[in-house]
Structure 1
C-alpha cells in the first residue's frame, strides 16, 4: 500500500512510502506503523486516516493496493 503523511509525521516517516502490510484494518496498520517507529505513537493516536481521499474509521477494511493518507491534527489562528 502507498502511504502519504503530512506535517509532524514527516519527522517520523518519509512523506510518501510503500508499505508491505498484512494489516486488515486501520487499527492494525496504526500498530504496524508504531512498531516501525515507536516515537510516532502519540501522534498516530490523534491522526485521521483516509483511503483513496475518503476519511475512514479504524475498523475500515484495507486492501494491499490502497492509497492511504495520514493527517495529524492541526491548529492555526
Structure 2
C-alpha cells in the first residue's frame, strides 16, 4: 500500500511512502503508525483517512494496491 501524509504529519513521516506489511484495516494502520512514531500518535488519532480520494471509516479493509491519504486537522486560507 502507498501512504501519503499532509500538513503537520510531514514533520513525522516521509510525505509519501510504501508499506508492505499485512495491515488489515485503517484502525490497524493508525495503531501501527502510532507505534512507529509516538510523537505523531495524538495527531493520528484526530486525522481523517482517505482511500482513492474518498474518506473511509476505521473498519475499511485495506487492499494491497490502495493509496491511503492521511489528513490531520488544518486551518488556513
Under a length normalisation based on structure 1, what TM-score does the superposition of the two structures give? 0.94
Structure 2 alignment gaps of length 5 or more: none
Q: Number of paired residues?
A: 77
Structure 1 alignment gaps of length 5 or more: none
Under a length normalisation based on structure 2, what TM-score does the superposition of the two structures give? 0.94
> How far apart in 2 are the matches of 1:24 and 1:18?
15
> How far apart in 2 are the matches of 1:42 and 1:32?
13
The Cα shift of 1:76 comes to 2.8
Show the counterpart of 1:23. Answer: 23
The Cα shift of 1:36 comes to 1.1
> How far apart in 1 are the matches of 2:28 and 2:4?
17
Show the counterpart of 2:76. Answer: 76
Instruction: Please give the secondary structure, in 1, of the residue aligned with 2:59.
Output: coil
Show the counterpart of 2:62. Answer: 62
Moved over 4 A (4+): none
Contact 1:21 1:64 in 2 (8 A): no
